[in-house]
Amino acid sequence: MEDVIMKTRVAMMFGGKSVEHEVSVISGIQAYMSMDTDKYDVIPVYMTKNNEMYIGDSIGDIESYKNIDELLKKSQRVIMINEDGRVKLVQYPVKKLGKNVEVGIDVAFPVVHGTNVEDGGFQGYLKTMGIPFVGCDVTASAIGMDKYITKLVLKESNVPVLDARLYTLSDYADMESMMNDIENVFGYPVIVKPVNLGSSVGISVAKSRVELANSVDDAFRYATKVLVEHAITNLREINCSVLGDENDAIASECEEPLHTKDILSYEDKYVSNAKGSGSKGMASVSRRIPAELTPEKREEVRELAVRSFKALGCNGVSRIDFMIDADTDKLYFNEINTIPGSLAFYLWEPVGVPYKELLDRMIQLALKRERTEESLTFTFDTNILNQASFGGSKGSKM
C-alpha cells in the first residue's frame, strides 16, 4: 500500500480594497497557475473591493473577471475562522440546515498590492487569525509602503536615498505656502508622490509652478500625506528583486524598464501592455533584461538591494527600484515593492529560478518564520487576575 502524501493547502489570496485591485487579480492568478500542484493544494481566494472573500471553480479563471457580478453569483462567499488552532474558510452566511462549505488551509499566500492590503493591515489580520502567511510581516509591510519612513530607516543603514519633504493635509490647506516651500527647498523639476501607494498611481514630475499645483492636487486624491523630492533629469531606472529573509537573502537579475514619460506610469506598467499580451501584468512591461550595466554597477545594485531588503526586515520576494543619475553615475534607492507585480518572476528566471521554484521558496520561508516564532515566548503562566486584591474598586497602578 502506497503512503499518502499530504499536500500543504495554500490559500492564494488576491484583489482587495485597493486602487491596484485589478493588478492584484492578474498577479494572483499568474501565481495560482504556476504553483507546484504535486506539492501544494491551492485554493484561489478572490477578495472584492469591500474585502469580502469568495472561492469557487471560476475564481482562478482570469476570463471570469470580465464580469465580476456574474462571477460572484456563481461563487461562494467565505470568512476565515480559527477553530481549535485550525484555520478554515467557512461559508458565509452559514446555513442553519444542510451542509456548509468548509475548507481548511495551512498557509495564506497574499498576492495583493497597495494601501489596505500590502501595508501591514491585511498581514495583521492574518497574524491575528493565527495562519502562517507568505511575504513580509506586519512591520516590514507597513514600513515598505510608507516611502518617507523607508527613507529614514535606510539612511540608518547607509543606503543612499534622495532627500525629501513630507506634506500633510494641513500643508495642502495652504497651497501657496506649500508650493513656496517646495520651490525654496528643491527648485524644479520635482517629483510628487503619495507617500503610501505603488504602481506609479498619483506620481508625476513637475517642471513649473502650474505643473506643481496639478501634481500636488493629483497626489492628494490618493493619500493624506505626500512626498516631494528632487527629480533627476537624466534618469535611468534599474530594478532588482530579492528573495529571502532578514538573515539570508539573494538578488535576482537587474532590469531597466522602458517608458513613455518622465517616469514609468501605471499605463506603461499595465494598460498599454495588456493589449494582445494575455493579461501578463508586470511581466509584459517593455524592459531590458539584463539591464545594460557594467559588471561593477550590476553588483553594486544587487548588493544594495540585498542590504536594503535585510535592513527593512523583509521576507519572501520584494522588488527594489533604484535610480541612477546618468550625469554622475550615482545610484539611489527609490522604493520597495514588498509584494511586487507578477511577484517579479521574470527577474528570477534569467538567474535559474523558475516561477514554480520561486513560489515554493516563498512558502518555505513563511513556514520557517512560523517555526521560529513558535519557539518564542509570548505568554507567562502567572495570571494577575488570580490575585486576591486589586486595591478596591478604583484598582491600583501596576
Residue 335 is labelled as binding a ligand: yes
CA–CA separation, 71 vs 317, rounded Å? 30
CA proximity to 108, closest of 84, 126, 83: 126
> How far is C-alpha 127 from the geometric centre of its chain's CA atoms?
16
Instruction: State the CB neighbour count (10 A cutoff) for residue 301.
Output: 21
Question: Under a CB-based contact definition with an 8 Å cutoff, are residues 254 and 290 in contact?
Answer: yes
Please indicate if the annotation marks 321 as binding a ligand.
yes
Alpha helix stretches (DSSP H) within the chain: 21-34, 68-73, 121-129, 138-145, 147-156, 169-173, 175-186, 209-220, 266, 272-274, 295-311, 355-374
Q: Is 342 a catalytic residue?
A: yes
Given a contact cutoff of 8 angstroms between Cβ atoms, the answer to whether 202 and 221 are in contact is yes
Active site residue 20: yes
Chain centre to alpha carbon of residue 135: 8
In whole angstroms, how far apart are CA 33 and each of 16, 29, 66, 186?
A: 19, 6, 18, 46
Q: Is 337 annotated as a binding residue?
A: yes
> From the candidates 18, 20, 27, 141, which is the catalytic residue?
20
Residue from 24, 199, 284, 308 carrying the catalytic annotation? 199
SS3 (DSSP) at 31: helix
Contacts for 3 with CB less than 8 Å, ≥ 6 apart? none
Residue 292 annotated as catalytic: no
Nearest by Cα to 242 from 173, 172, 165, 320: 320
Give the annotated binding-site residues for Mg(2+).
321, 335, 337
Annotated active-site positions, please? 20, 199, 342
Give the annotated binding-site residues.
321, 335, 337
